[in-house]
Amino acid sequence: MVYHKDTQKEYEADRERWALKSLDEKINLCEEKVRTVGGTVHGWFDALNPRYNHSFTVPEVTKWFEEDGFTKIKVTSKYNININGWRGQG
């Protein structure tokens, strides 16, 4: 999964404290996030659990495709960086 840099602020502060929390505290935090922000407990747990979560900008990811020979590159989503392209002749 490639995460868009502009969407990670909601997770960063909680992720820093995540490792210090007990399982019950983690679930409580996820339940609070569901009430205040939306989503699901599973979704918040999944988003906050990774110790490292690198995020990128659209130009950075687009450059990866260009460097690997893709053309006709199209970004299909603003915040979840869905990109497709064509590699080869034609």
What's the pLDDT tens digit per position in 16-64?
889 899 999 999 999 999 999 888 899 889 888 887 777 888 899 889 9
| Same-domain check for residues 61 and 49 | no
- In this structure, the answer to whether residues 50 and 64 fall within a common structural domain is no
Do 33 and 62 have their domain in common? no
Number of domains in the chain: 2
Residues 10 and 51 occupy one common structural domain:
yes
Question: Which residue range(s) make up the domain with 1?
Answer: 1-55
Residue 48: partners with Cβ closer than 8 Å, 6 or more residues away: 11, 14, 15, 18, 26, 29, 30
- Say what the pTM is: 0.61
Based on the fold, state whether residues 46 and 76 are members of the same structural domain. no
Residue 88 confidence (pLDDT): 63
DSSP secondary structure letter of residue 6 = G
| Same domain (yes/no): 85, 42 | no
Residues 41 and 66 grouped into a single domain: no
Q: Does the pLDDT at position 84 exceed 60? A: no
